[in-house]
Amino acid sequence: MLKTTTALATVTAIFAAPAFAGNVTEPAPEPVIEAPAPVPAAPLSPNWTGFYGGGQLGWANVDADGFDDDDSLIGGLTGGYDYDFQNGFVVGAGLDYDFLDADIGNVATAEEVFRAKLRGGYKIGRGLAYATGGYAWADTDNLGDDDGYFVGAGYEHMVTEQVSLGGEVLYHEFEDFNGSGSDVEATTVQARATFRF
């Protein structure tokens, strides 16, 4: 009886050994999935360097000594060049040419304004807050023309890499306009759209 039990235990051990030993073939290796290449992050602030051109439209108030002031629609063209220092600061130079129709009392009507401007500002995300100033020239229908200056501030925002929208407030002064003995002041508020090349 002992031999039968031993023989039975041996046969059982032989047949059970593969089950305890595990699979004879090695499992296939797990596939290695590579991480996708990182997408370069979009710049937080666009590069403002380059030429631009566009248009502007707004409101003007013209005031001359001894006369009532007058309001007018004002609009025209703008163009220039900016340089981005890539440290937050941007400087530039530009030209504006605007048409308007503001009475200077019953004496004359202001019809054109030309500006040669410098500007400097600081980038805020996709925007640029700046101060500006420079030379101004104004022409009237029958009082002639004269030179003056202007100062102001504005904000411009890049909608795309080439299109920007903004606004600007300027104060102009023309002392003793064309020898008339009257100082002429003008304040303009304009919205502008530009395309960058």
Q: Find the CATH number of the domain harbouring 87.
A: 2.40.160.20
* Chain-centre distance for alpha carbon 142: 40
Domain-embedded: residue 55: yes
44 is a domain residue = no
Domain that holds residue 107: 50-196
Number of domains in the chain: 1
Give percent helix, percent strand, percent coil of the chain, each to the nearest 5. Answer: 10, 60, 30
- Per-residue pLDDT tens digits of the chain, which is 197 residues long: 545 555 555 555 555 555 554 555 666 777 778 777 776 655 578 999 999 999 999 999 999 988 889 999 999 999 999 999 999 999 999 999 999 999 987 889 999 999 999 999 999 999 999 999 999 999 999 889 999 999 999 999 999 999 999 999 999 999 999 988 889 999 999 999 999 99
Question: Is residue 168 within 8 Å of 152, Cβ to Cβ?
Answer: yes
Question: What's the pLDDT at 36?
Answer: 78
Instruction: Establish if 145 belongs to a structural domain.
Output: yes
Q: Does 93 fall in a domain?
A: yes
Q: Considering the domain boundaries, does residue 143 fall inside one?
A: yes
Task: Judge whether 115 lies within some domain.
Answer: yes
